[in-house]
Structure formats: structure tokens, C-alpha cells
Amino acid sequence: MLTYACIDLKEYIHPQVNAENSIILRYCKSFQPGIDLGLLESTSIREGCRILGPINYNGANIFVLDMSSLMADGNFKSSVACISIARSIEQGARELVVCSSGNTGIAAARYSKHKRLKAHIFIPKMSSYKFDFSVIDEKLHDIKIIDKPEWEVHAYAQAFARENRFPLVPSIEHQLESNSCRTMFVLEYMKENDVAFDWTSQAISGGHGPVGFYKKLYSLINDGLQTSKVPGFIGVQQAGICPMYNAWISSRDYLTSDDINLYPRNVIEPTLYSTRPESNYRYLYKVLKENGGTFYCIDLPEYNRLEDEMLKIIRNCGLKLKSKKINNEQVITEKAGILSGMGILKAIKDGVIQPGENVLLTFTGTTGV
């Protein structure tokens, strides 16, 4: 099992803020460059986080990093939006552009409304069913639903932002900065609960979440954090949109055009869709080679076969998934957390994760308490 000798985290922590209320505010002292605390406090709504479990599965211990239930929008994009809006205001922006396949747009709408910023939100039609239009303020929000694939909608948003000189958010820097807070939270949890994690797992599209986590962890190691081993990573993608998986099984640290499907069909989770994750894949490839781990790809038949087993684990952790009625059928709003867990089940069955080891399932949305 991993062992950690933690550096003193107090210098990075806002002691008056609980992590269940906001990991952004609690760990804001760790941001580089720094940010005005008053601005961040006035932007924050709720960006809470918690760890649930463990649940024993074939001898391994599954913990759930719940970055959903305690967030303002029921998913981890609330933390990203908090940083994006605050950093944009810091740079003098009064209008911004968002390209979203669901969660990002909802969070950006809520946080921009909270700070009275105008937002132009581009949404692919294929995932518009996920959007919560109740957060929209007609005076502040310009919604553009476009019946094109995600990469084309993103190109439209980029062109609109460039033409009008508005920031396109969230930037890569915003995403990495917000996701660095999960590193701080996990380290504080381990110290308080005398537990260490051998593995982390997440279903990914662009990969900003795990990259932000590992970059912050390596930064803290450089600052004096001592560890016997950095946790390995189990990355999960879905069939049809799995460029990282395709490159990984070909033993390459780079993507080619053959890895990328610009026009996927019958996908499990339409929001897990990024056709340009090259730089993040190179970084995650290095993480996996240095610390262990793998990528898994889940297709629809396998998803259907494992769904009940995974939902039982989720319920046993005290989570429930939100759903919405679509075409007279009750549909789970987001399946990213389920896919992340399925990767863990496969890694345990394959012997990648051993009995007695602790694995952290990253649950990014959308759940209820």
C-alpha cells in the first residue's frame, strides 16, 4: 500500500471554509498565480466535495470521490465555472463565450448570472437534452443550439469569440487550476483518515481532470511531499469516442487521425466527447508508464451488462443518480461516473488492481444526496 509523509498543508488552506462547501475557497491559497480572495468569495456558490465508502469488491476497496452531490449544479463543472468566471472578471471581461455539451454550459450560465456577466453559450443539439434551461436569464444569456458534431460547434464558438474579442471559457488553465483542488482535498482526506490510495479512476474526454490532479500532486512532491508511490491511473473511454484508448493499445504516446472519430454514433454518454486531447494524452501516457495503470474502452453491450452491478455499488455508497424523462423513457442524465466505475471493475477482474488495494472512483456528475 502507498504511504505518504505529508507536507504541512495549512499554508494552502482557508481554515474557515469546509471542503463540503467549497474546495475552491478552501484551497485557494494553493493557486499560482494567486487570486483576490474577495473576488473568489463573491463568485463562489457551492463547490463542495466528499469521499464516500469504502465498498469491498473482490477484496479491493472502492472509495468514491463525489464531485457532484455538493456542487451548485450537481456536477464538478461548478468548480471549473467558479474559477473561469473569477479569472475572467480579473482580466476585465464583461462578456464571455462557452462551448458546452451540457454540464459546462449549465455551470457557466449559473455562475455568470451570479456575477451579472453576459454569456454566449454554444450547445451541440445531440446533447441539448441535458441542459437545465431553468438557469437561463434571457437578459444575460445568448443560447445557440447547433445541429453539428461537438468539434464543429466548438469551431463556431472559437470563431465567434475571436471575432468579438470575448474570452472562450473555460480555458485549459482554468480547468487544470480547478482540478488541482481535488489533489489538495484527497491529500487532506488521507492525512485525516490515515488512508492512502493506490489507484484513481475517471471516465475522460479531454482529460483535464486527471491531468490537473497529477500535475498538482507532482508539484507538491517537488515542494517536499514524500510518497512511496504516486497512485496509478485507470482511464476509461467509450467505444466510438476513444482516441486515448486507441493510442494506448497501440503503445503510442501520441494520437493520429486514425484514433479520432469525428462523427460517432450510438454513444453511451454524448458529453464525453473530445476529438483533440493530444497534449493531455501525452501527459497521461507518462503518468501511466511511471506509476502503472491502463485505459479501458466500454462499448454499449458491455455497459448494459455491467450497469446493474455498478448501480448497486453506487447506491451502497449512498449516492443516487439523477434522471430525466426523454421520449417516455427515464434516462440517467449522465453516465460518466458509471463508466469510471466499470473501468475499476474490469481492472479488478483483470488483476491490475489487487486485493487489499484502495482505489478512488472519481464521480463527476450527476448525482443527488
Per residue in 252-298, pLDDT (tens digit) is 999 999 998 888 888 888 777 776 788 899 999 999 999 999 999 99
**How many angstroms separate the Cα of 243 from the Cα of each of 106, 247, 289?**
26, 6, 18
Any idea which architecture 4-74+173-368 has in CATH? 3-Layer(aba) Sandwich (3.40)
User: What is the pLDDT at residue 217?
Assistant: 95
Q: How far apart are CA 82 and CA 369, in angstroms?
A: 22
State the cell numbers at 305. Answer: 451488462
Q: What is 77-171's CATH number?
A: 3.40.50.1100
User: What is the pLDDT at residue 266?
Assistant: 81
User: What is the pLDDT at residue 101?
Assistant: 66
Residues of the chain with pLDDT under 50: 1, 368-369
- Tell me, what amino acid is at 114? H
Q: Where in the chain is the domain with CATH 3.40.50.1100?
A: 4-74+173-368, 77-171
User: What is the pLDDT at residue 91?
Assistant: 95
Question: Before 210, cis peptide (omega within 30)?
Answer: no
Rounded to the nearest 10 degrees, the angle between the axes of helix 300-316 and helix 336-349 is: 100
User: What is the pLDDT at residue 369?
Assistant: 38
**How many angstroms separate the Cα of 270 from the Cα of each of 50, 125, 237?**
26, 10, 11
pLDDT, tens digit, 9 for 90 and up, residues 299-332 = 999 999 999 999 999 989 888 887 877 777 787 8
State the cell numbers at 312. Answer: 448497486
Q: What pTM did the predictor assign?
A: 0.92
